[in-house]
Amino acid sequence: MEIAGYFASLFIGISLGMIGGGGSVLTVPILVYFFHIEPVLATAYSLFIVGSTSAVGAVQKWMKHEINFKVAFTFGLPSLLTVYLIRKFLIPSIPEVIFQYGDIVIYRGIVTLILFAILMIAAAIGILKPQEIRRPVLPQTQGLILLGILVGVVSGLLGAGGGFIIIPALIFYASLDIKIAVGSSLLIIALNSLVGFAGDLFHHPINWVTLLSITSLSISGTFLGNWLSGRLPGSRIKKIFGWFLLLTGVFILAKEIIF
């Protein structure tokens, strides 16, 4: 299973390289089901893998002048502060057993996976369903700050980068071109994830050999993703990835609730 997991790790980087998001929601399931890593620890590993991979992708986009640093930091600063506080203080305080009534026991790891499956399904629907462009309710700066906090909550609790929220926010609130939005998204995800991982360093035992091996493969995937993004229609890539996310999310939900 681990060999298959290493191959699957490539798709984390491929997704981030092609569409600036989505790869992070693959990371936790890969770590849990292929490498048998405990779900909460998997969210910590995910932050490092996604953060490092996104950082490499962001450098590639920066070299193409495809990052708006002003917008990225307006969105990113409240987001990374939120994710750090959640990983540093909230996650360690959540008990292993969340609920117990007689023989019914609900563990923290199961809740994490169920929430992750719901996140994957929501992300898939957002990718597959055509979005109507609406006039933003809030002014640009306030909207970016509030959405940044929302992404920080998602990243902090589930170890996901939140690219499926970031990119629409940058397009609609900051009026960025899709390529600039993707590059800026990678920078935000990198900052969020690595700062969040810093909050985990003294709370979890880290197997650095496994973590760095997966991260290296994921980073390799970003180069392939960047290459593919220039040769395949973006709409087709998103549709395939959306269906993959939907099926994976439904599988995880069924496995954890029914089986």
pLDDT in tens, 36-82: 998 888 888 988 998 898 898 889 889 988 899 988 998 889 998 89
Q: Which pLDDT belongs to residue 21?
A: 63
* pLDDT higher than threshold 90 for residue 170: no
Residue 213 has pLDDT above 90, yes or no: yes
Choose the weakest-confidence range: 33-37, 143-147, 187-191, 230-234: 230-234
Residue 163: partners with Cβ closer than 8 Å, 6 or more residues away: 16, 19, 20, 21, 22, 23, 24, 185, 186, 189
Report, as an integer, the average pLDDT of 77-96.
86
d(CA 200, CA 229): 33
pLDDT tens-place string over residues 214-223: 999 999 988 8
Q: What pLDDT is stored for residue 138 in this prediction? A: 53
More confident residue, 259 or 26: 26
Q: Do residues 31 and 42 make contact, with C-beta atoms less than 8 angstroms apart? A: yes
Give the pLDDT confidence of 233-248 residue by residue, as tens digits.
666 766 777 787 788 8
At residue 52, the pLDDT reads: 92
The answer to whether residue 229 scores a pLDDT higher than 80 is: no
Burial of 197 (0-12, 13-18, 19+ CB in 10 A): buried
Distance CA 172, CA 143 (A): 10
User: Mean pLDDT, the chain, as a whole number?
Assistant: 81
Return the exposure string of 218-242: e unless at least 16 CB atoms fall within 10 Å of the residue's CB, then b: bbbbbeebbeebeeeeeeebbeebb
The mean pLDDT of 179-194, rounded to a whole number, is: 86
